[in-house]
Amino acid sequence: MKSAILLLTVALLSAVGVAPALADCQIADAKLEEAVLQKPELRGRANRQTVRNLRTLRDAAFTLWSYGRHDDCERLLGNIRELISGPSMESLGGNDEEEANKQFAAREPKVQRSAVAGHRADKGAKPLISINELAPGLRADEIIGAEVRSSDDKIVGEVRNIVFGTKDRRDYAIVASGGFFKPGKDSLVVPIQFLKVSQERGNFFLPLAEAKVKTVPLMPDQDYKWLSDDAWRTRNDALFGQP
């Protein structure tokens, strides 16, 4: 009987000892979503990027937690809480635009266009698949961030955004094609229907050779006003193929 009680006590103590470790760094404690609901300014259009940034930080905290870095996770949650409760996000940090551009560039891939040879010429390379023929369909997270190549297998850039739900059913992949693959500047607006994908779903291919890709006009604005410019879209889409 005493042995049974002793074993039960050890088990309970073990459970008590494990519980705090598992409870370290509670993501919910940041109360980010509660703040978004309670603060009208965070729901405004002007602060959409602010909320996205805060959610990105929260996702990073979860990643740290998943690797057992509870102390680092908690520190990051503390930063999130400070940002939420502190002054307006617009008043925080520096305003040195040149330095900000350097910091932004540091987080981007640095593969230059045409720098890496592809594998389409390899023996046994499998045929490409048209997007319209792909089954099962692609998820958004399989498209965003994917490498995009020209028909002659040269790097063009990577998908940084997608546009769905246009009235005329012409959906687009925004392909960032600059040296750092930043969306907006140096981005191509590619009709998704003309893309092809490798059978491994690792790379997307345009129906244009690299030399032709260089003649395609870049996305005219980063606010997506071009979506309402039917004439521009028609000219742009015609460069990639016929519907």
Where are the chain's structural domains? 7-91, 129-238
The three-point CA angle 186-237-168 to 5° equals 120
pLDDT of residue 182: 41
Mean pLDDT by 10 residues, the chain (243 residues): 41 40 74 83 74 86 89 91 73 57 57 54 73 77 84 87 79 76 68 86 86 90 88 92 65
pLDDT of residue 102: 65
pLDDT of residue 2: 40
Using CA atoms, how far apart are residues 142 and 7, in angstroms rounded to an integer? 50
Q: State the pTM of this model.
A: 0.53
Using CA atoms, how far apart are residues 73 and 226, in angstroms rounded to an integer? 41
Please state, as a whole number, how many other Cβ atoms lie within 10 Å of the Cβ of residue 72.
16
Location of structure tokens 């490798």: 198
Could you say which architecture CATH assigns to the domain 129-238?
Answer: Roll (2.30)
Element holding 55 (H helix, E strand): helix 48-66
Sheet containing 129-130: which strands, arranged edge to edge? 129-130, 196-197, 203-205, 147-149, 155-163, 172-176, 187-191
pLDDT of residue 33: 84
pLDDT of residue 94: 53
Using CA atoms, how far apart are residues 41 and 47, in angstroms rounded to an integer? 7
Q: Which value, to the nearest 10 degrees, does the dihedral of the CA atoms of residues 23, 25, 28, 30 take?
A: 150
pLDDT of residue 30: 86
